Amino acid sequence: MPMQLNVGDIVKLKKKHPCGGYDWEILRVGADFRIKCTTCERQIWLPRREVERRITKIVSHALSEQDDNDANN
């Protein structure tokens, strides 16, 4: 099932980065995603398939839809 992923989303990946961070910001979408570690700011390219496999959680959506649901965990 394809995930709805957009530039600006913050996602949590299964495997932790060497810096200790789990959260990544999506900088570019497409066949390959460009993502940035929000802890150390390192940027990497990863195929979309890999990104989808590694995501455990979408931390925040960039899209500001009009629903004012204030769910912070």
With respect to Zn ion, which residue has the nearer C-beta, 45 or 63? 45
Q: How many residues bind Zn ion (CB under 5 A)?
A: 7
3-state secondary structure of 66: coil
With respect to Zn ion, which residue has the nearer C-beta, 2 or 20? 20
Closest approach, Cβ 33 to Zn ion, in A, equals 16
- DSSP single-letter state for residue 30: S
What whole-number distance in Å separates Cα of residue 64 and Cα of residue 20? 29
With respect to Zn ion, which residue has the nearer C-beta, 26 or 37? 37
What whole-number distance in Å separates Cα of residue 42 and Cα of residue 13? 15
Tokens of 60: 């925040």
Q: Does 39 bind Zn ion (CB under 5 A)?
A: yes
List interacting residues with Zn ion (CB under 5 A): 17, 19, 21, 37, 39-40, 42
